[in-house]
């Protein structure tokens, strides 16, 4: 067997040096931590422990004094988070209390949020509200002292701000007759008689649109139907539908267009006729003579039935 293993234990000089170096490095790596702990760290640990115990004793004594001083007025108060110590640097740094806002209040009417503003913790506020849910009532300011989670000192701070609203006063206020305001009558505007100021008083119609309504009415010769006002430029559908019940129409003499003697320039100015309508009417009249009846206007090739119905209230034969 040795003959079989012996070739594995034959090394050159350099190989033997390398093996010895590796073995020594391994021994150092294994023994170094233990040597440090025994000769160095143990001494430091003993010295640090003495200093640490002294600091912790001081911290404990100081914190006990602070807690004892604040115990009465912060009993169960989560808004006070107590002093703490920075254990990394052994520095004392107190945590601040939340700001307390005192105001006149009826404990029967306020909720948890208001109790917390007055300096109670969330748990204390929940206890008070639970007391009220179960039928508890505060009939006098002194009844605040019945709530066990509120310290005597805290109750003394709150009592001067307590104002109990009597039940009969609440009922008296509830029974007071409610003021009923008479609805203002809606402003109605006669679209054939109103001036621009009257139109401007309607919600959704400004000075510019009011002037355009007046101008359109003049060009037409007068309105014969309320829905014609929706044809005014920039009169939106929504504005018209919101205001159509506010528009009235008084029948007035309509200024009519004489189709037997009006020229192209006059006719094309009417909102229901354009240049091509006017030119075709004049051409038809020149070729066939004067119109004998209004229905003849439908013989003009540019005048459709719908166009004729729109222009009919505004034309005459003489």
| Bridge-based pairing state of the strands 257-258 and 247-248 | unpaired
- Would you state the pLDDT for residue 150? 92
Q: Is 284 left (phi over 0), alpha (psi -120 to 50) or beta?
A: alpha
pTM of the model: 0.44
> What pLDDT, on a 0 to 100 scale, did the predictor assign at position 79?
47
CB 249 within 8 A of CB 223: yes
CA-closest candidate to residue 106, choices 152, 144, 62, 58: 144
Reading the chain (318 residues) residue by residue, the pLDDT tens digits are 555 556 666 667 887 888 888 888 888 888 777 676 666 555 544 454 566 666 667 777 767 766 666 555 445 444 445 554 444 444 445 555 668 888 899 998 888 989 999 999 999 999 999 998 888 889 899 999 989 899 999 999 999 999 887 755 555 555 566 665 555 567 899 999 999 999 999 989 999 999 999 999 999 999 999 999 999 999 999 999 999 999 999 988 999 999 999 999 999 999 999 999 999 999 999 999 999 999 999 999 999 999 999 999 999 998
- 3-state helix, strand, coil split of the chain in percent (to 5) is 55, 5, 40
| CA dist., res. 127 & res. 133, Å (int) | 10
Q: State residue 37's pLDDT score.
A: 62
pLDDT at 61: 74
Give the containing element (helix H, strand E) for 50. helix 42-70
Instruction: Find the angle CA(56)-CA(63)-CA(87) to the nearest 5 degrees.
Output: 45
pLDDT of residue 281: 94
Q: What is the pLDDT of residue 198?
A: 93
**pLDDT for position 55:** 65
pLDDT of amino acid 87: 46
- Number of residues that this document lists for the chain: 318
């Amino acid at each position: 067997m040795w003959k079989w293993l012996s070739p594995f234990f034959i090394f050159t000089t350099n190989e033997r040096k390398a093996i010895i170096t590796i073995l020594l490095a391994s021994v150092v790596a294994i023994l170094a931590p233990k040597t440090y702990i025994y000769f160095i760290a143990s001494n430091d640990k003993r010295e640090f422990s003495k200093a640490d115990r002294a600091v912790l004793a001081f911290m404990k004594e100081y914190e006990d004094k602070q807690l004892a001083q604040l115990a009465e007025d912060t009993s169960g108060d989560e808004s006070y988070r107590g002093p703490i110590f920075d254990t990394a640097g052994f520095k004392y740094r107190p945590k601040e209390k939340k700001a307390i806002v005192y105001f006149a209040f009826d404990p029967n009417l306020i909720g948890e949020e208001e109790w917390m503003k007055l300096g109670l913790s969330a748990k204390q506020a929940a206890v008070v509200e639970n007391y009220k849910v179960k039928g508890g009532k505060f009939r006098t300011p002194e009844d605040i002292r019945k709530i066990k989670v509120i310290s005597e000192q805290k109750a003394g701070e709150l009592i001067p701000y307590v104002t109990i609203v009597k039940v009969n006063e609440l009922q008296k206020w509830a029974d007071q007759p409610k003021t009923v305001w008479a609805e203002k009558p809606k402003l109605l505007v006669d679209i054939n008689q109103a001036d621009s100021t009257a139109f401007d008083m309607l919600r959704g119609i400004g000075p510019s649109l009011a002037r355009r309504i007046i101008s359109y009415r003049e060009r037409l010769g007068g309105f014969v139907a309320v829905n014609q006002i929706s044809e005014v430029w920039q009169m939106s559908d929504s504005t018209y539908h919101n205001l159509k019940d506010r528009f009235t129409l008084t029948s007035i003499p309509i200024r009519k267009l004489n189709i037997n003697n009006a020229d192209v320039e006059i006719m094309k100015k009417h909102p229901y006729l354009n240049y091509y309508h006017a030119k075709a009417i004049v051409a038809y009249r020149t070729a066939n003579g004067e119109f004998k009846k209004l229905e003849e206007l439908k013989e003009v090739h540019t005048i459709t039935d719908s166009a004729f119905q729109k222009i009919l209230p505004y034309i005459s034969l003489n």
